[in-house]
Structure 1
């Protein structure tokens, strides 16, 4: 970094307690971390910016008040001890660093949210809104005898000497790093029945829901990054930066959130507030942060780079960050619609405020016959706030790509083969044809209009006779007429379109369809009927919600070429039927095996595993399918 001229902000403790021999409650924690800080400064004397402890208030809440993180305490005294220990550590660390590097700056980060409430819970909201400033107030030297928390800190065992040390103001930040998330703002409501059970709790006096404020009918100007940044500036009058801008969601929503944070920072700069930077967190993504590390599921959220690819792959979020840094702007059609937190339908209760009229943006063309699979693509696009134009027949694609001014599509999704793929996997001996020259015509139309194309083929471009699971660079050895036609389609599409994104899937399955073999198996088991004769061999599964989300992310990222998108893992049909039966509580289930000659058409990847595990996909398929009414499955079958 020094050779490249990159100036790092060095963090020493980030949501943790350091080595196993200490903890946030250890009386020697601050002094121990200060010794470490001095060693770091001696090793890197050219480093000038430090964050000794990241988000001390947030860490103290999650470790000492909520019990989520080590040392897993749930008492206010432990919360305050952890908080003061961290703030004291910041001060002592900067003192140690400045002995080596006198010009070193303290960049202090904190998650800044706000709590709103119904009138009955205003006192609770006031308490939490006072509490949210404690770390920055302590470091800024504000917690003296007149501070509303001073007596409470002393009464719960905090040493007066520690408060006196901090009250001198030596730990005041040179720059405040504001971390603000969509869930940072809360709303407290005594009408608990209006909210999911997971949000219901209380304070010993009242039972109430603690909900995300963005899902409650509040004035837009009171919430969001601009309002919170302005609060910090008016309270402390110190330079600011957004030190974490992240949303664990689909790529379009990630871009919309970054765009909103950037616009907030620019608006405040124009108004005279010194916002110095917006930082994308995390550069390389994060694992299991969707559960705050409480669960270990290996759930990965990409950041500016996606580390599931080797080498790490630049995402649209990374391209946006680069464009904002170099040009101050970033444009993408998905930004024509607001994020889900600004769209109607997000509220737990219907909003009383009329929604602002939202003009439709550039559409995403979805090509495919009306049916369960195309409907699922359209549903997912709608959930992601992507305007779509559905084209049922290939003959109409030309008109769709030449719409009135201002409604020019930004990409095409050819989902026309998904249903055929489901049928081909169910009936491996059937004479099915995937119309390769039709796929070529679609690709040629996209090429003529200079539009990105996302199309689908399947693992049936392999007959399974060549050994283990197949990666993207494996030569095609098609299985049957359908596999031959799909292999031809891949080649023809690549001939006429300069950079198509061609996704190979495993056996596609969706909760609301009846065409795929997994759906057939489920229906037979639910009716306590013998399953059909099962084809031999090992295969991959692609649960359609996972498939479409991953494919759309790749499309927005600007990816091209062949990608294998299947849920991670492989399975044979007998094992799948056994697992389904076990999940459904069926103990007597005679199964048939269709003979010898088992093949392996499972997919692996050299480009990156973009989809959740096979276990997760099967679990969610069974759960979601159980919620589809019989009438819905009948219509899907028809």
Structure 2
């Protein structure tokens, strides 16, 4: 008896069967540089733009200035395009734009945004990155949500072509570094100050999103938040460390109207949140399409030794396992919104390790929209969390401060060439990012 393959070959030829090119064995495997189409996985970088104050408000850190982006913004944006990237996490200097209620200086913002648009780059526009204008003081100011909402609306009106936003970058880190760890801005070290900063920044994000949605009802909100965890290596865990591991969710709990655990809720009430404020947060999540962005650096994950000493664990659980906890809690589409290492020679290996985490998450069926190497160029003083102005160069960029490529730039180009045209989920052509407004939100 003849093989069925013989009959097929006689009728249809040897391989390359007509019709198979439409997604069969002869279909496209997803390699090639990103296309920017609505179903294309979003490969991104970012430009570090932090601007907290230190020295009790006397010194403003502005990484856009310290890394010379203001003078070299065209060159920097050109590097994004030359890399083959279509997406850029980009922060305008909020502290220097909103000069007062109803007063704005758009000079630099207009120049940079025009160049981004000219180059065909899709910005994820970062509207508050670790600092506020001097006239607003700091994150203890209850007026912040109202004035920040005004700013968000002005941005949305001025750049109507922008759809992707991060209203407040890393809300939890903003509140913790400013009001619990005493590093930036108000430089306080109390639970009450932390809760105050937390509720003001979450409220600012919610109110800002509402104003953006007025002008872009199809807005996509990529909430960048730090993925953190502390491993407590003690036979009997302490309540303080375990509470800290639960508090890491609090910013997203309030943002997404997800009821926190009882001890966390008691902590909020004990430290100044009123029942009326809590009910306001629990009324519902903000408008727009909500994407849960998780930032992961090896230094985000720590081990507490029996002695109480904290050491960096560097990738014990990793982005996949930590982010999976967040995904199972909120059931939002995911994006890996920041990662890097300070050692330039380790950059390529870290990049590939993060990509393995992405592939593992996709294999689980979790919709992962994108990945970000942060940042485009080297940074300064993140080895001290910006708390000291030493001018130390952190060799974590795709390019150094002379705009020369680091080894990780070539590795990222290889990654883009191999995977650049994959879709957000398998057969993602069927589930493209729609241009319709977000209206219906249900849990099943």
1:247 alignment counterpart = 341
Superimposed CA distance per residue, residues 510-553 of structure 1 (whole angstroms, 9 cap, x where no aligned partner): xxxxxxxxxxxxxxxxxxxxxxxxxxxxxxxxxxxxxxxxxxxx
Match of 1:96 among 208, 211, 220: 211
1:54 alignment counterpart = 169
C-alpha displacement at 1:99, in angstroms?
0.8
Provide TM-score, normalisation by structure 1: 0.46
Residue 298 of structure 2 aligns to a residue whose secondary structure is coil
2:312 alignment counterpart = 212
1:182 alignment counterpart = 298
Tell me, in whole angstroms, the C-alpha distance in 2 between the residues paired with 1:28 and 1:180: 31
Tell me, in whole angstroms, the C-alpha distance in 2 between the residues paired with 1:110 and 1:59: 10
Alignment of structure 1 residues 99-110 onto 2, 5 Å:
99-110=214-225
Query: Is the Cα–Cα contact under 8 Å of residues 143 and 149 in structure 1 kept in the other structure?
Result: no
1:116 alignment counterpart = 231
Residue 278 of structure 1 aligns to a residue whose secondary structure is strand
Tell me, in whole angstroms, the C-alpha distance in 1 between the residues paired with 2:157 and 2:409: 33
Tell me, in whole angstroms, the C-alpha distance in 1 between the residues paired with 2:369 and 2:325: 16
Tell me, in whole angstroms, the C-alpha distance in 2 between the residues paired with 1:143 and 1:19: 34
Query: Is the Cα–Cα contact under 8 Å of residues 143 and 163 in structure 1 kept in the other structure?
Result: no
1:28 alignment counterpart = 143
Query: Residues 174 and 286 from structure 1, CA distance in 2 versus in 1: closer, same or farther, beyond 3 angstroms?
Result: same
Alignment of structure 1 residues 375-390 onto 2, 5 Å:
none
Tell me, in whole angstroms, the C-alpha distance in 2 between the residues paired with 1:326 and 1:295: 39
Query: Is the Cα–Cα contact under 8 Å of residues 178 and 187 in structure 2 kept in the other structure?
Result: yes
Tell me, in whole angstroms, the C-alpha distance in 2 between the residues paired with 1:242 and 1:262: 10
Match of 2:393 among 297, 300, 315: 300
1:141 matched to 2:282: no
Alignment of structure 1 residues 553-572 onto 2, 5 Å:
none
1:160 alignment counterpart = 275
1:45 alignment counterpart = 160
Query: Is the Cα–Cα contact under 8 Å of residues 379 and 397 in structure 2 kept in the other structure?
Result: no
Tell me, in whole angstroms, the C-alpha distance in 2 between the residues paired with 1:15 and 1:153: 22
Match of 1:316 among 407, 429, 441: 407
C-alpha displacement at 1:22, in angstroms?
2.6
Alignment of structure 1 residues 443-482 onto 2, 5 Å:
none
Superimposed CA distance per residue, residues 574-630 of structure 1 (whole angstroms, 9 cap, x where no aligned partner): xxxxxxxxxxxxxxxxxxxxxxxxxxxxxxxxxxxxxxxxxxxxxxxxxxxxxxxxx
Query: Is the Cα–Cα contact under 8 Å of residues 88 and 162 in structure 1 kept in the other structure?
Result: no
Query: Is the Cα–Cα contact under 8 Å of residues 399 and 409 in structure 2 kept in the other structure?
Result: no
Gaps (5+ residues) in structure 1?
Answer: 192-207, 215-219, 330-638
1:10 matched to 2:110: no
Tell me, in whole angstroms, the C-alpha distance in 2 between the residues paired with 1:19 and 1:33: 13
Larger radius of gyration: 1
Match of 1:87 among 188, 202, 206: 202
Query: Residues 25 and 296 from structure 1, CA distance in 2 versus in 1: closer, same or farther, beyond 3 angstroms?
Result: same
Query: Residues 124 and 188 from structure 1, CA distance in 2 versus in 1: closer, same or farther, beyond 3 angstroms?
Result: farther
C-alpha displacement at 1:288, in angstroms?
0.7
Match of 1:289 among 382, 392, 398: 382
Tell me, in whole angstroms, the C-alpha distance in 1 between the residues paired with 2:222 and 2:401: 31
1:589 alignment counterpart = none
Match of 1:229 among 318, 323, 333: 323
Tell me, in whole angstroms, the C-alpha distance in 2 between the residues paired with 1:323 and 1:20: 46
Tell me, in whole angstroms, the C-alpha distance in 2 between the residues paired with 1:263 and 1:148: 35
RMSD: 1.9
Residue 257 of structure 2 aligns to a residue whose secondary structure is coil
Residue 30 of structure 1 aligns to a residue whose secondary structure is helix
Tell me, in whole angstroms, the C-alpha distance in 2 between the residues paired with 1:81 and 1:242: 28
Gaps (5+ residues) in structure 2?
Answer: 1-115, 421-444
C-alpha displacement at 1:304, in angstroms?
4.1
C-alpha displacement at 1:303, in angstroms?
4.1
1:170 matched to 2:170: no
Superimposed CA distance per residue, residues 207-255 of structure 1 (whole angstroms, 9 cap, x where no aligned partner): x2122234xxxxx8x5212211222222211111110011111x22111
Residue 313 of structure 1 aligns to a residue whose secondary structure is coil
C-alpha displacement at 1:93, in angstroms?
0.3
Tell me, in whole angstroms, the C-alpha distance in 2 between the residues paired with 1:106 and 1:18: 23
Query: Is the Cα–Cα contact under 8 Å of residues 140 and 197 in structure 2 kept in the other structure?
Result: yes
Residue 211 of structure 2 aligns to a residue whose secondary structure is helix
Query: Is the Cα–Cα contact under 8 Å of residues 347 and 407 in structure 2 kept in the other structure?
Result: no
User: Greater relative contact order: 1 or 2 (C-alpha under 8 angstroms, separation 6 or more)?
Assistant: 2
Provide TM-score, normalisation by structure 2: 0.65
Match of 2:354 among 261, 264, 276: 261
Tell me, in whole angstroms, the C-alpha distance in 2 between the residues paired with 1:157 and 1:122: 24
Residue 160 of structure 2 aligns to a residue whose secondary structure is coil
1:325 matched to 2:416: yes
1:577 alignment counterpart = none
Tell me, in whole angstroms, the C-alpha distance in 2 between the residues paired with 1:165 and 1:324: 44
Tell me, in whole angstroms, the C-alpha distance in 1 between the residues paired with 2:324 and 2:346: 24
Tell me, in whole angstroms, the C-alpha distance in 1 between the residues paired with 2:135 and 2:414: 42
Tell me, in whole angstroms, the C-alpha distance in 2 between the residues paired with 1:121 and 1:224: 22
Tell me, in whole angstroms, the C-alpha distance in 1 between the residues paired with 2:230 and 2:401: 37
